[in-house]
Amino acid sequence: MVEKGYYGLIAEFDSSEALLAAARETRSAGYKAIDAFTPFPVVGLADVLDFHDRRVLRLGFAGGCLGFAIALAMQCATNWSYPINVGGRPLYALSAFAVVAFELTVLFAALFAAFGMIALNGLPRLHHPLFSVPRFHLASRDRFFLCIEARDPKFDATATAEFLRDLKPASVERVPS
């Protein structure tokens, strides 16, 4: 059940080690909708948070396949409409199609991956609820934050706040929606 008026609760930690330990404990406590914010990459944090989303890779592969198919179809259709016999070469010489096929494969894969990533990230998003937390700007400097979102099935405002306080953070704050 999603709590009304809450995006979630956020806890501030002084070190990456404390954040990593808190994230492990939060995950083992059964919370699923958790996220962490750090000023630099923390080794092992992605595994604890279960970041294994492969949708952008699949979009890039699909775009590459589409680009390859369009390149071959375009060149075959052109050779069908305007057949020119140059030096006895076959009308559909696939080796002659390789350069255009390669270029469109790379172009479509890159475009699908880039625009897919933008769409999957929900961009452009001009404001995020975490921006209203007074000390959250320190996440890009020297502080480490762990957020449990209200959409988590186990989330209860009082119990979750008490759980976060037991992790010994510098502070625990409510994130308004």
| pLDDT tens digits for range 4-45 | 778 999 999 999 999 999 999 999 999 999 999 999 999 999
Query: Is the C-alpha dihedral spanning 127, 4, 32, 17 positive or negative?
Result: positive
Q: Using omega within 30 degrees of 0 as the cis cutoff, is the peptide bond preceding 129 cis?
A: no
Region of 168 (left: φ > 0; alpha: ψ -120 to 50; beta: rest) is left
Residues of the chain with pLDDT > 90: what percent?
A: 77
The helix or strand, by DSSP H or E, that contains position 101, with its residue range, turns out to be: helix 94-120
What tens digit of pLDDT does each residue of 50-69 get? 888 899 999 999 999 999 99
Task: Report the pLDDT value the prediction gives residue 84, as an integer from 0 to 100.
Answer: 85
Instruction: List the beta bridge partners of residue 12.
Output: 145, 171
